[in-house]
Structures are given as structure tokens and as C-alpha cells.
Structure 1
Amino acid sequence: MSSLSASSPKPVAPKRRFDTRRLMPYLFISPFFILFGIFGLFPLLFSVVLSLHSWDPAAGFEAMRWVGFDNYTFALTRDDWLHASLYNTLWIALVAGLPQHLIALPLAYFLHTCFGRWRNLVVGLYFLPFITSTVAIALVFSALFSKDFGVVNSILAAFKSVPLVGAIMPEQSVDWANNPQYTKWMISFVVFWRFVGWNTVLYLAALQTVPRDLLEAAEIDGASLWRRFRYIVLPLLKPMMFFAVTLTIIGNLQLFEEPFILTGGTGGTDQAGKTAAMHMYWVAFREGDFGTASAIAWLLFIVIAAVTGLNNRLLGQREND
């Protein structure tokens, strides 16, 4: 028996087969990561490299020259057009962004309480500007604000005959795109018109989560529509308000299409309508300085992060309170 056991072969562990079924989920999601790496992560990292170099793409990669933080220094200290465009961007973000929420929130509450079966139709009409092509919207408003044939100037001219209002109306047709006094107002109006419906839909969606029994109990107790809105609805909407305001800040600080088309790509007279994103485009594709343009892009990112953080600090504290 001992000889038989000694000569018997040792058991061999079965070879582990590669299970392709475990690999399939990763294969299904791999296209996203591949495309993100090519079109998202690589340009992001390459822009960091570019911001530290002086480079004109027309001269090829061999023309890249290391300059360190000189591009950032130039943008912060000597690029007066960047400073002006940042001022324009913040001005438009405030003038176009604040009224969006001051109107969208009461409008959403009105739609929520006063409209029944027609609410979806009305919401769709308000949401239509957001899903419409930005280029198409800008072209339409370019015609509306035209100096010679625009509807806006025609309306202002019609109000000249009104006794009280006529005194503040401009005497001549306004050149909205080229008059520094009016260019930012024109851009702000278009941005406001385009995004007020989007914010209305956001607030209307948040209103669906407000417990109806609270509103009914307050109504039975004699609370008016305003008091129900002030003491019940508004506190419950603070998380959505923070989210909507954050999106508005980020979007307005990245404005490009509307001011670019409305001013014919030039920013208007004295660059009154040029935003930071427009200036970045101008430096890169008109002046051929991709290094400085990349530095401007990262500086704009820092500005957006700072303003968003300030908004988080202000509205976030109120939400916690």
C-alpha cells in the first residue's frame, strides 16, 4: 500500500480559465473613457503645458518655447483687454443672472398654483428658448436690435409721443452693437431671455417636492398666498436655489456665443461687449498665441471657482441655517 501511495501522482490544481464574462462590463463602458481621454483629459492637460510655453501652431511643435509663468504674469499685469473683458463678463453675469431668479422663482410658483392641465404647455413654451440653437437666437436678436430696421428701435420711437415716457427715450436710433453705453444691456437682455425659462423649469420641478398637505393646512389656517410662499415654499426651495444660482454663475462667466454673434465677433466699440471667453478666443485664433490663451483659460477657471465658492459660502450657510 505504501509503494502504491508513493508512486501515485500528485493532484494538479486546475488551471484558472480567463472568464470573458467578467471583462464584458468594462468593455461596454470603455468607449466613454477612451473618448473622454482623447477629447477631455488630454486637451485639459495639454492646456496646462501650453500655458507654460509660447507657441504658434502655424510654426509647428518645434516652435514651442518654455516661458514658465510669463503668460500668467502678462495676463494679470499687462493685458488691459483681459481686465476689461473680465469686467464685462462680471457685469453681464450680474445684470443678466440676478433678474433670472427674481422672475423665475415667482413665475414657477404662479404656474404651480394657478395652472392646471395647461401647465405643461406653458412650461414647454418657457423652456423653448433654452433648447433653441444659441446661434439662431443671437441672429434673431441681432435683427431685432438693428440700428436701422430693428423692432426695438421702432418701439422706442413709438414711445416718444407718450408724455411722461417720451422724455427718457433716446432721440435717435440706438446702435446697440456699437454703442458702449448700450452693448452690455443688449447682451444681458438676450442672456436673460434665454435662461429665465430654464430656471423656471428647475424651480417648478423643486415645487413638486413640497408637501401639499403643508400648503393645504396653511391655507385652512388662513395663510395668504404670499405667506405660504414666504414661510413654507421658500425655505424648502433653498437647495434648488443654490443649485440654480451656481449653474447661472458658471454659465454666465463662460459666455461666448451670444456676445460674439451680437457684436459681429469684435466685441463692439471699445470692446464693451467682449467677454473673457471671447478674449481668450481672440488671443488664440486671431493673434496665434495659444500659450497666453491657455493661461487666460486657467485664470478664468480660477475666477469661476472663486465666485462659485463665494456663492457656496453665502447660500450654503443660509441653507444650513
Structure 2
Amino acid sequence: MTTMLSTPSWRKSEQRTAYLFTAPTMVLLILFSLGPAAYAFYLSGFSWNLLNKMHWVGLANFTQLLTMPLFWTAVKNSVIFAAVVMPTQTVIALIFAVILNQNLPARGLFRLAFFFPSISSSAVTSLMFLWIFNKLGLLNGFLNFLFHISGPDWIGDPRFALSAIMILNIWSTSGYFMVVFLAGLQAIPRNLYEAAAIDGANGWQRFLHITVPLLRPATFFIVVMGLIGTLQMFDQAFIISGGTGGPLNSTTTIALLIYQFIFSYGQVGLGAAATVFLFVIVLLATIATNHWLGKPIEY
């Protein structure tokens, strides 16, 4: 006869304590993350300008969105931005992490210097780069002084405006991802490198066959966070373009267009539909990254 064992009282007490400590975080998550996300899905089916009564329109907002050239311009800008910034910041972060993982003089100072941009205010750094990329700014002055060439109008020229924001984003995020790679590098057992060196592997072979595979969890985290951040980029484009997405919509991203739909044009349903579309893009990119990098390491 089988006897069912009841859960010990001490285990129930631990469970209650765990629920008690996680409850504030769960409440905040529901109120400020899951709740607004669900409400955005709800609003995508309505026509509303924040003043009049909401009217159910079904999929009309999505139909209007998909036939709007400005929306596809924003999608193109966001995809190009993510496709350039994410791999570039990942590679730069890995290079600096490998260098600063060595026994170098003033190693801590260099780590701090490279990490500092990632904790600086995005608004402040954007304003600083506005001055640097100004037609009469620091960058063009540097080009004129060294090479005697007149640089372009980085912010005012549609050919260069998005590239200027890319440089700003890479500069401000690579330091954070460098720290993540550093943590991954320091978790790799040193005896693996020593054994490979005894077997005759050179530095590049040790990096390619030991460092890169064992950094897969850190790389997965960095790629996913980089994709989410770049596809949702808003603040830097807003400040650099003055909220217009100009010149000629060259810096209009999906997130910036959502802001314009809701607060500039008063089309809340259209902005919510664009939010749903952005969610789908981020979800698909994350699933693809998980399929590519999320596999367990095979020894």
C-alpha cells in the first residue's frame, strides 16, 4: 500500500517566504511590463486619439500600417541599425575583454575607462555627439587639421545621419558588453589553456577552440540584449533628430515612429499596432538567436 507523504512544514514555510520576497518584483513586473504590453495589444484594435471615444476597428490599424511607406522606412532603418551595431559592438567588446583580461599595467583603470560610457546618461552623450558631429564640430575639425579635408554634415545629411547614431550607440554600449565577456573569460578554467599549450596549440587555436565555444552563454546574452536594444532604439534618434526622425526620415526608427504616432499625430491605435509589430520582430530575432547560440556546448 502506497503512503503519500505530505510536504514538511519547514518546506511550506520556505515556500511562503520565497513567495513573500518575490511578490514585490512580480507586482512591479505586472504593473509596468506585462500589463502595458497586454494593453498595447488591446489598443491595437481601436481608433483613439486620447480625446474622443474609442472605436473598435479590428485589423484596420495593421492594414493601414502595412501600406504606409513611412512605416517601412522605419523598419528598414531599424533593421540596418541592428544589423550593423549589434555585431560591431559584440566584436569590439570581445576584443577589449580579451585584451583587458591580460596582466597589463593599470588594467583596472582601463576597464573603468571603457565601461564608463555605458553608465553615462544617454541624453548627455547624445548631446555631446551632437556637438562632435556638427558640421563645424570636433570631428570635422579633426579631419580638416590632419587630412585637410572638409567633412560632411553628419547630422544634416541623410546619407550619414543614421551612421552617426550607430557610432554613438556602439561607443556607449560596448563597455557594458565588455564586462559581460570579462566575466565569461574569468570563468574559463586555466588548465584548459595549459593543456592545449602542452599539446602544441598556438594562441589563435586556443582562442578559437577554447575561448569562443566556452563564451557561448555570454555571447548568447550579449547578442540577444544587443538585438533588443538596437531594434528598440529611441532616445538617441529622438535627441539627434530633434524628435523628427530627419533629415528625410533617415533616422526614423520603429520606436521613434511609435512615439510620433501617439504623441505627435494622436493615433494611439496605429502606434499600438506598430508596437505589436516591433514585438513580433524582437520575438522572432530572439528565437532565431536562441536556435543559433542557445544550444548546449558539446565537448
TM-score (norm 1): 0.82
In 2: Cα distance, 1:234 partner to 1:28 partner:
37
Contact kept in structure 2, 1:202 and 1:240, CA below 8 Å:
yes
In structure 1, the partner of 2:143 is: 156
Structure 2 CA distance for aligned equivalents of residues 87 and 155 of structure 1: 32
2:127 to 120, 132, 139: 139
In structure 2, the residue matched to 1:108 is: 97
CA distance in 1, matches of 2:169, 2:295: 28
Q: Deviation above 6 Å: which 4+ runs of structure 1?
A: 21-25
* Of 224-233 and 90-99, the range deviating more from structure 2: 224-233
Amino acid across the alignment from 2:92: I
Higher mean Cα deviation, 303-312 or 26-35?
A: 26-35
Count of residue pairs brought into register by the alignment? 287
Identity of aligned residues (%): 34
Amino acid at match of 2:54: M
Q: Deviations over 1:45-98 (max 9, x none)?
A: 221221100001123xxx10000011111112x221110011001111111121
Structure 1 counterpart of 2:87, which letter?
L
Deviation at 1:178, TM superposition (A): 1.9
Query: 1:240 deviation in Å?
Result: 1.4
> Contact 2:214–2:297 at 8 Å: present in 1 too?
no
Which residue of the other structure, out of 212, 216, 220, is the alignment partner of 2:190? 212
Match of 2:9 in 1: none
What is the alpha-carbon distance in structure 1 between the residues aligned to residue 22 and residue 221 of structure 2?
29
My pick for the range that moved more, 36-45 or 190-199, is 36-45
CA separation in 1, counterparts of 2:224 and 2:19? Answer: 34
Deviations 1:196-233 (A, max 9, x none): 11111111100111111121233344433222212221
Please point out which of 273, 278, 296 is paired with 1:295. Answer: 273
Residue correspondence of structure 1 range 71-220 to structure 2 within 5 A: 71-76=61-66, 78-115=67-104, 118-148=106-136, 150-161=137-148, 172-220=150-198
Determine if contact 1:239/1:319 at 8 Å carries over to the other structure.
no
CA distance 1:253–1:319, shift in 2 (3 Å):
farther
The SS at the match of 2:233 is coil
SS in structure 2 of the partner of residue 58 of structure 1 = coil
Larger mean Cα displacement after TM superposition, 49-58 or 106-115: 106-115
CA distance in 1, matches of 2:25, 2:219: 31
Contact 1:55 1:65 in 2 (8 A): yes
Structure 1: give runs of 5+ residues left out of the alignment: 1-20, 162-168
Structure 2: how far apart are the matches of 1:290 and 1:105? Answer: 41
Q: Name the CA shift for 1:139/1:219 in 2 (closer, same or farther; >3 Å).
A: same
2:102 aligned counterpart, secondary structure = helix
Amino acid at match of 1:112: N
SS of structure 2 residue aligned to 1:269: coil
Distance in 2 between residues matched to 1:27 and 1:290, nearest whole Å: 37
Which of 1 and 2 has greater Rg?
A: 1
